[in-house]
Amino acid sequence: MHTHRIGDVTVLNDHMEVPGLGYLSVNAFVIHAQQPVVVDTGLGLPDRDFVASLRQVIDPASVRWIWLTHPDRDHTGGVFELLAAAPQARLVTTFLAAGLMSTEKPFPMSRLYLLNPGQTLDIGDRTLHAFRPPLFDSPATTGFFDDRSRACFSSDCFGAPLASAELAQAADVRDMPGDELRRGQLLWATVDSPWVHCVDRARYQQTVRDTPFVDAEAIFSTHLPPAVGLGAQFSAMLSEVPTTEPFVGPDQQALEAMLASFQPAGADGH
């Protein structure tokens, strides 16, 4: 796992390969506030140890809040281990997300802090303003705006499959060509939010205008390297999404072709 620090936010960057699409960043974040916050907890894979990676950035015992933007396994991989390692921390999530996670493993209800879009969380030296991003794949999704750093944490919104693992681990999204970034973001929008082409365009545009992306100093997406000073450009990209056709993944025939290509060579070398 790579780490990058931008102001008072540390990015804990992992990545995964999405066959046929490219490489996708999988980020978690630490806000070094008066009451430190961990945002998401990485991939739920057996070879990942999120808490061990976090220890390189902050002592888990000092963490006061764990904000889950939604309960998908690429966001909740280390959540139960972190709750054990951070006994003073409370888990910030929604009622729906708490219910979904409880099907995997129970956790003390007293450590929950239920927060809905439109509400705020005081973390000592700043306030986090919760909102629902325009694009999401889970109804439990909640991003937020940090009113001190003027950073937006957008959950899956703005993600993009990238051409290489190196790009997915970059410290700045401007390390890649703008056209490639835009194509990747439009593709990801149709993968992660395949419903968006069905929405009322005027209402969707109003949702985009109501989010704080344009004025954000930085945008931290789970599935993209950090973006500093690109709020207007990213917001403009969002306006294109409803006209983009939804993503259709490979079918069984394509899967069989992929599996065949991985078959070991026979004794005759074929």
Q: How far is CA 201 from CA 207, 246, 248, in A?
A: 10, 15, 22
pTM (2 d.p.) = 0.90
Cβ atoms of 247 and 194 closer than 8 Å: yes
State residue 264's pLDDT score. Answer: 62
Q: Does some domain include residue 209?
A: yes
Distance CA 7, CA 10 (A): 8
* pLDDT tens digit sequence for 172-200: 998 788 788 999 999 999 899 999 888 89
Distance CA 76, CA 123 (A): 21
Query: b vs e for 57-89, b when ≥16 Cβ sit within 10 Å of the residue's Cβ?
Result: bbebeebbbbbbbbbbebbbbbbbbbbebbeeb
Distance CA 85, CA 60 (A): 6
State residue 18's pLDDT score. Answer: 84
Number of domains in the chain: 1
Q: Does some domain include residue 265?
A: no
Q: At what angle do helices 201-210 and 231-240 cross, to 10 degrees?
A: 170
Beta strand pairing status for 151-153 and 143-146?
Answer: antiparallel
Q: Does some domain include residue 264?
A: no
Q: In the numeric block, which tokens belong to residue 171?
A: 């410290």
Q: At what angle do helices 231-240 and 178-192 cross, to 10 degrees?
A: 50
Distance CA 35, CA 37 (A): 7
Is the pLDDT reported for residue 267 higher than 50?
Answer: no
Residue 230 lies in domain: 2-259
Q: What is the mean pLDDT of residues 197-216?
A: 89
Is the pLDDT reported for residue 17 higher than 70?
Answer: yes
Could you give the angle at the alpha carbon of 176 between the alpha carbons of 171 and 182, nearest 5°?
A: 115
Q: Does some domain include residue 83?
A: yes
Q: Does some domain include residue 269?
A: no
Is the pLDDT reported for residue 40 higher than 90?
Answer: yes
Cβ atoms of 65 and 146 closer than 8 Å: no
- Residue predicted with more confidence, 262 or 255: 255
CATH number at residue 90: 3.60.15.10
Q: Does some domain include residue 51?
A: yes
Distance CA 204, CA 238 (A): 9
